[in-house]
C-alpha cells in the first residue's frame, strides 16, 4: 500500500473508531485529544448522598453501587431486608437515609436519557460501567465473524480460510462478560478501544484478500464487470460501494446514499488495489455494519418513539436470531 493510501486509511481510522465508540457513548479511546460526548446524566446531590451511604453500609457485602446485583431496590425492600436479614440487623439508618440509598440504586440514577445524533438516530448512552437500553446493538464477536465471512463469500469462499484473517478474528477481545455471575451471555452493548481496534485489523486483512480475488472482483454482482479493469472509474466505484454497502448494511442502499458513502473513499489518484482496500475497510468499519440498527420502520400507533421493523430489519433480526449470521440474499 502506498503512502497516500496508508495516510487516507489512517485518517479514516481516526474518524471511524471514535464513531464506533461514540455510537454508544460508553468508552474513551486512547487517542490523545479525541474526546467523546459522554451522554451521562447529571448526578443530583441526593443521588451522591445515597451513593455515599451505600458505600458506607452496603458495598462491603453487595459490591459497588455501579455493579451491584441490588439495583432498582426500593426503600421498602431495603427496610424489610434490614429488619429480616441477620447480617443486616446491625445497620442503623433513618428512613430518609434508606430512601437516599434507594435513589442511588434507581434506574434513573444510572441510565441517562437517550442521545440523538446528527442523523436523528438514537445513540448508545451510558455512565461508566452501565449501558442504556437502545434499539441498536453491536454485532457480537461471533456475529461479526459470520457477517464478515458472508461478505468474503461474494468474492471467493476460499478467502475465509486465510490463516492471518482467522488469527485477526481470534485476537478480537471476547465480549463474554465472565465476571457476571448470572450469565455468560455475549455483551452486544459493549464496545471498547481494544474491540474496535480488533475489528479494524480484521476488516483490513479482509480487504487485502478481496484485492487478490481477481475472479470474484470481475464477477462481483451489479458492477457490470467494471472491477476487472486496470483502473476504476468513479462510476464503477459508486456501483461497487452500492452493492457492497447493501450487503454490509443488510439493507438496500439508494443511489444517493451509496454515492455519499463512496465519496468518503474516492480518490482518482489512488491505485486500484489501494482504493479497494480503503473502501472495503471503510465500509466494514462503519456503524451500519458493526451495529444492528433498527430505525427504518414507521412509528407504532400511539407512540412517537417506538418504531416497527421494516421488512429488511425483520429479516436481519430473524436471521441473526436463528443462525447467528446475516441473511444471504437482499
Task: Give the model's confidence band at 117: pLDDT under 50 very low, under 70 low, under 90 confident, else very high.
Answer: very low
Average pLDDT of the residues in 223-251: 94
pLDDT at 116 over 80: no
Alpha helix ranges (H) inside the chain: 3-22, 45-57, 59-62, 75-84, 95-105, 107-110, 141-153, 163-171, 193-211, 214-218, 234-248, 255-263, 272-283, 287-290, 311-323
CA distance linking residue 251 with residue 45, whole number of Å: 46
CA distance linking residue 224 with residue 235, whole number of Å: 11
Phi-psi region of 177 (alpha: psi -120 to 50; beta: other; left: phi over 0): beta
- Tell which residue, 23, 55, 44, 33, has the closest CA to residue 126: 23
Looking from the CA of 281 toward its CB, the CA atoms found within 13 Å total 32
Q: Where are the domains of the chain?
A: 3-36+131-323, 45-110
CA distance linking residue 272 with residue 257, whole number of Å: 22
- Tell which residue, 212, 267, 221, has the closest CA to residue 245: 221
3-state SS, residue 322: helix
CA distance linking residue 233 with residue 225, whole number of Å: 12
Structure confidence by residue, pLDDT tens digits, 32-42: 322 333 334 45
- Tell which residue, 84, 85, 126, 92, has the closest CA to residue 109: 126
Average pLDDT of the residues in 181-188: 57
Structure confidence by residue, pLDDT tens digits, 26-74: 433 333 322 333 334 456 788 889 999 999 999 888 888 877 888 888 8
Amino acid at each position: 500500500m502506498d503512502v497516500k493510501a496508508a495516510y487516507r486509511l489512517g485518517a479514516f481510522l481516526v474518524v471511524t473508531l471514535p464513531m464506533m465508540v461514540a455510537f454508544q457513548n460508553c468508552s474513551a479511546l486512547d487517542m490523545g485529544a479525541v474526546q467523546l460526548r459522554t451522554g451521562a446524566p447529571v448526578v443530583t446531590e441526593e443521588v451522591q448522598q445515597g451513593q455515599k451511604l451505600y458505600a458506607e453500609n452496603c458495598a462491603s457485602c453487595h459490591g459497588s453501587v455501579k455493579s451491584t446485583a441490588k439495583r432498582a431496590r426500593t426503600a421498602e425492600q431495603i427496610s424489610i431486608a434490614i429488619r429480616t436479614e441477620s447480617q443486616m440487623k446491625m445497620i442503623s439508618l433513618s428512613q430518609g437515609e434508606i430512601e437516599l440509598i434507594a435513589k442511588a440504586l434507581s434506574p434513573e440514577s444510572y441510565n441517562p436519557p437517550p442521545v440523538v445524533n446528527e442523523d436523528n438516530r438514537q445513540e448508545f448512552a451510558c455512565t461508566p460501567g452501565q449501558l442504556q437500553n437502545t434499539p441498536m446493538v453491536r454485532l457480537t464477536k461471533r456475529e461479526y465473524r459470520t457477517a464478515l465471512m458472508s461478505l468474503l463469500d461474494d468474492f471467493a469462499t476460499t478467502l475465509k480460510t486465510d490463516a492471518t484473517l482467522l488469527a485477526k478474528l481470534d485476537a478480537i477481545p471476547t465480549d463474554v462478560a465472565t465476571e457476571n455471575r448470572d450469565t455468560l451471555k455475549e455483551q452486544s452493548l459493549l464496545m471498547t478501544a481494544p474491540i474496535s481496534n480488533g475489528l479494524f485489523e480484521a476488516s483490513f486483512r479482509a480487504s487485502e484478500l478481496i484485492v487478490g480475488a481477481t475472479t470474484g472482483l470481475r464477477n462481483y454482482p451489479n458492477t457490470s464487470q467494471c472491477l476487472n479493469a486496470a483502473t476504476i472509474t468513479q462510476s464503477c466505484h459508486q456501483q461497487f460501494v452500492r452493492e457492497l454497502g447493501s450487503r454490509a448494511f443488510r439493507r438496500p442502499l439508494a443511489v444517493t446514499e451509496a454515492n455519499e458513502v463512496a465519496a468518503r473513499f474516492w480518490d482518482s489518484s489512488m491505485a486500484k488495489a489501494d482504493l479497494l482496500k480503503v473502501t472495503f475497510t471503510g465500509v466494514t468499519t462503519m456503524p451500519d455494519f458493526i451495529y444492528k440498527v433498527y430505525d427504518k420502520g414507521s412509528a407504532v400507533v400511539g407512540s412517537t418513539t417506538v418504531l416497527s421493523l421494516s421488512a429488511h430489519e425483520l429479516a436481519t433480526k430473524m436471521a441473526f436470531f436463528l443462525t447467528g449470521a446475516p441473511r444471504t440474499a437482499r
